[in-house]
Amino acid sequence: MPCKFFRAALLAVLLLSAGGAAAAVDDERVGTWDPQPFAADGAFEFIVTQESPLARLQQRSKTAQSFVFYFRHDGAILLIAQPNAVLGPRGARTDKDGSVIFADFAASGIKRLAANGQVTTVISGAPLTAPKDVAIAASGDLVIADFDEFKDTSRRAVVLYRQATKDLKTIYAGKPLLWPHGVDIDRNGDYVIADVSGAIFRVTPTGQLTTVASGVPLIGPLDIKVQADGSYVVPDNQLGMDAASGQNNRPAQPPLPAKLFRVTPDGEISVIYQKRGSTFRAVANHPAGGWIVVDSSGGRGNGDGQARGALIRVYPDGTARVLHEGAPFFNPAGVTIIAGASSMAVAKQQNESSAPPAAPRRRDGR
């Protein structure tokens, strides 16, 4: 029964992502994956957030169906948060207690996923409108990249949630912030922002904003992670947003490959890795060096009309391998790494309903 439930749930979500057209879904792909152990990198495990394609449209009604998956160290992919617990999950971080903190833009709040799979709301409501990412300070305070979905640029902001007082404080709001989607904290305690309009900004805790880099080659930076050397790693889907119209501003055909950039605090930009036909949406620093990149459209180049998300392991030398591509990832939006065999693994082994569905036979018999 659990296998049938998960296959049915994943099929329903994939049908929604295909606009309800049953013919567009290959049932033999639903719920399948090829486990690839991470022996070469150590037994690291991931939490992957995945938003429904309808989350943005259903933000006001709070009816979106989204998921949070647990990518176990042995390659198994388990459903860790039920659809009714999350609406539009995006950027995720692991806190010092091992819980996962993530932005839920469709719920206008920040949520916590505990090791037992329970989801609770940390903070929600004004001044938050549609948070896209969250970073955790050493103090435990949360820095939030907030993006108003309904084109009110004055409400696009960097917001601080102070754990001690349990309150929200807007650090900076309005232009030049236009599409803030990623946030991290640098070595000086300043906040660095990836803005999909094609810019990287730095904001001090007192609200002073400076531009680190803007314009080509930056087109649509969606996330940002600070590195040990002080530089930033930035996934850019090369499909940005025009500041005036709010429409996609990707250059003329042929489409540019998605890129993973390294940006210095002085604004120098270099390419680490690129992949054509992809949408790099999020990145996490890997404890063994390099990064995990979330690709939310990795399969569009296959010619079958199916958009399959992927997790890509990118190494410091720019080489890469795909850890997983395809179901159940159709629109992954965020990733965070939890090291080793965590308590979450123990909790899920005790919960039969979380077992992944058995992989059906392929048409070629393999």
- pLDDT digit string (tens) for 37-47? 444 455 678 88
The mean pLDDT value for 112-131 works out to: 86
Across the range 21-42, mean pLDDT stands at: 33
pLDDT of residue 122: 94
Q: In this model, does residue 314 exceed pLDDT 90?
A: yes
**Share of residues in the chain with pLDDT > 90 (%):** 39
Of 162, 98, 155, 163, the residue nearest 132 (C-alpha): 155
Instruction: Kindly report the average pLDDT of the chain as a whole number.
Output: 74
pLDDT tens digit string along 3-14?
333 333 333 333
Return the H-helix or E-strand segment holding 292: strand 291-295
**What mean pLDDT do residues 209-220 have?**
95
Alpha carbons within 13 angstroms on the beta-carbon side of residue 287 total 14
274: CB partners within 8 A, 6+ apart: 257, 258, 259, 260
- Please report, for residues 88, 158, 159, 185, the alpha-carbon distance to residue 143 in angstroms, rounded to integers and kept in the order given: 18, 7, 6, 8
Structural contact between residues 139 and 163, judged by C-beta atoms closer than 8 angstroms: yes
Q: Which pLDDT belongs to residue 307? A: 53
Q: What percent of the chain has pLDDT over 70?
A: 66
Residues 154-178 have pLDDT tens digits of 667 888 998 888 889 999 998 999 8
**What is the arithmetic mean of pLDDT over 242-255?**
50
Q: Would you place residue 65 in the very low, low, confident or very high pLDDT band (cuts 50, 70, 90)?
A: low
Least confident range of 38-42, 104-108, 254-258, 270-274: 38-42
Asked if residue 250 has pLDDT above 70, the reply is no
Query: What is residue 342's predicted lDDT score, i.e. its pLDDT?
Result: 42
Whole-angstrom CA distances from 202 to 183, 187, 188, 225, 339 are 10, 12, 11, 13, 29
pTM (global) more than 0.75 = yes
Answer whether residue 244 shows pLDDT above 70: no
3 state SS of 328? coil
Q: Report pLDDT digits (tens) over 75-100.
A: 778 887 655 677 788 999 998 888 89
Classify domain 33-351 by CATH number.
Answer: 2.120.10.30
pLDDT at residue 316, as a whole number = 95
Per-residue model confidence (pLDDT) at position 118: 82
User: For residue 360, what are the CA distances in angstroms to 28, 241, 366?
Assistant: 6, 40, 10
Q: Which residue has better confidence, 151 or 198?
A: 198
Give me the pLDDT at residue 356, please. Answer: 36
User: Is the model's pLDDT at 346 over the cut of 80?
Assistant: no
- Judge whether 312 and 292 are in contact, CB under 8 Å: yes
Give CA–CA dist 276/112, Å, rounded.
Answer: 34
Q: Answer yes or no: is pLDDT of 258 > 50.
A: yes
User: Does residue 313 register a pLDDT over 70?
Assistant: yes
Where does the pLDDT of residue 219 fall: very low under 50, low under 70, confident under 90, or very high at 90 and above? very high
Both structure tokens of 60: 């006001």
Query: What's phi and psi for 119, nearest 5 deg?
Result: -110, 125
- How many C-beta neighbours within 10 Å does residue 99 have? 18
| Token code pair at residue 346 | 């123990």
Better-predicted residue by pLDDT, 189 or 77:
189
Read off the pLDDT band of 153 (50, 70, 90): low
So what's the pLDDT on residue 73? 72
pLDDT higher than threshold 90 for residue 59: no
200 pLDDT higher than 70: yes
